[in-house]
Amino acid sequence: MTSAGYDVPSPSGTPSMSRIRQLPALLLACAALLHPDADAAPRLLHSEPSQFGTILVFEENGERCMNFNSMVDFGRQTCMSLEQPGALVFSYTRMMIGALYARPEPKTILIVGLGGATLQKTLAGLLPGASIDTVEIDPAVGTVAREYFGYQPGPTQRLFIEDGRAYIERAHRAGLQYDMVMLDAFDVDYIPEHLMTLEFLQHVKGILAPGGIVVANTFTNSQLYQRESATYAAVFGAFFNLKEGNRVIIAANGALPDDETLARNSKALAGKLKPLGIDREHTLDQFVRIDGVGSDIAVLKD
C-alpha cells in the first residue's frame, strides 16, 4: 500500500531495514495529536474495500478522518477539520507546505501518496496556476478522497494510479521535470522500502528541474533515521531537517536557499499561510540545515 501518511514517529532502535517491517503498526502509525476528549467514540461514515485493507472514513472531535482497518488506534492517514476544512490539522503537513519558503512558486509539482488530498488541495489553493500530479497505488484511496475529502482531479490536478517509484523511473527516462516533488507515501508500517533507497532518490533528483526541491515526510524516531539522512546526503548533499512530531527532509537539485532568502520568502507568503495554521517564525526556526552526515553510516540501497 502506498498512501499519504502518518504524523508521529516510530520508536528508535537498531537501524535495520528488515526489522522495521516487523514492528506493530500501533507503534509506528501514531498520527494525529490527541484531543482532550479523545475518548469520544468515532462515528463511521463509510467503509471502502481495498486490496490493502478496509478504508474507514469517520468523524470525531470535530474532524473527518481516514484510516485503514481501525478507527480506534492512534494512526490517521488524513484528518480534516469540519469547522475549518482548509486548516492543516497535522504538523507534518504544515512543515511540508512550509517548504514553499525554499521554492515559493513551483509551476510543476509531483506528490507521491494521496490520502485525503490535504497537500493537493492546499497547493491548488495557494498556487492556482500550478500543475499538480499525484501518484497513488490504491484506487480505493482515490475514490474516498473524491467522495469524502473534496479532492477534484482535472487538467491541472491529475491522478495516476500506480506505484510511485515506477512512475518516477518512467518520468526520468522520458525527461520529465518537476519544480517540486513531495514524498508522502506510507504502508501500514512505514515508508515502503523501495521509496527510501539511494537508487530511488537518484531517480527523484533526475526529475527535479534545476533548483527544484524534494520534500519528504519521514518519522523523527525511525530506526532508519541516520541511514535515511546519509542516503539523502549522498544524493543531494546538504538538506534542511524540519522536526515536529515527524521529520520533513527538504533537499534541492542545486544549492539550498540561504537564511536571508528563506526569511524573504516566508514574509511574502505569511498572509497566505497563516490561515492554514502555519506560523512564520515557528516554521522558519524549523529549517535546520544539515551539511554533512558521518561517513561511517551506511546508505540505504536496493
Total domain count for the chain?
Answer: 1
Residues 6+ apart with CB under 8 A from 292: 233, 238
Per the domain annotation, does 116 fall within a domain? yes
Does 36 score more than 90 pLDDT? Answer: no
C-alpha cell at 72: 480506534
Confidence band (pLDDT; 50, 70, 90) for 40? low
Give the CATH number of the domain where residue 160 resides.
Answer: 3.40.50.150
pLDDT at 9: 35
In a domain, 64, yes or no: no
The answer to whether residue 222 sits within a structural domain is yes
**What mean pLDDT value characterizes the chain?**
88
* Helix (H), strand (E), coil (C) string for 53-101: EEEEEEEECCEEEEEECCCCCCCCCEEEECCCCCCCCCHHHHHHHHHHH
**166 in a domain, yes or no?**
yes
Calpha distance 241→173 (Å, rounded): 29
Length of the chain: 302
Q: Give whole-number Cα distances, 193 to 2, 104, 118, 243, in Å.
A: 11, 30, 24, 22
Q: How confident is the model at residue 116 (pLDDT cuts 50, 70, 90)?
A: very high
Name the more confident of 93 and 34.
Answer: 93
Residue 218 domain-assigned? yes
DSSP code string of 25-40: HHHH---SPPPTTTTS
Please state, in angstroms and rounded to a whole number, the distance separating the CA atoms of residues 42 and 57.
Answer: 10
- Among 77-91, 186-200, 218-232, the minimum mean pLDDT is found in 186-200
The residues, any chain, with a CB within 8 Å of residue 264's CB and separated by 6 or more, are none
**At residue 266, does pLDDT exceed 90?**
yes
State yes or no: pLDDT of 204 exceeds 80: yes
Locate cell 534545476: which residue? 210
Which domain does 206 fall in, by range? 88-290
What's phi and psi for 107, nearest 5 deg? Answer: -95, -30
Q: Tell which residue, 160, 157, 227, 162, has the closest CA to residue 190.
A: 227
Q: Does residue 147 fall inside a structural domain?
A: yes
Q: Is residue 216 part of a domain?
A: yes
Partners of residue 49 on adjacent β-strands: 54
pLDDT over 60 (residue 257): yes
Q: Which helix (H) or strand (E) holds 203?
A: helix 198-206
**pLDDT tens digits, residue range 151-198?**
999 999 999 999 999 999 999 999 999 999 999 998 767 899 999 999
- Residue 18's pLDDT band (cuts 50, 70, 90): very low
The percent of residues above 70 in pLDDT, for the chain, comes to 85
pLDDT at 21: 38
Residue 102 is assigned to a structural domain of this protein: yes
Q: What percent of the chain has pLDDT above 90?
A: 77
**In terms of DSSP bridges, do strands 63-68 and 78-81 run parallel, antiparallel, or are they unpaired?**
antiparallel
In the 8-state DSSP scheme, what is residue 186? B
Q: What digits encode the pLDDT tens for the residues 121-150?
A: 999 999 999 999 999 999 999 999 999 999
Contact (CB, 8 A) for 257 and 102: yes
Residues assigned a catalytic role: 184
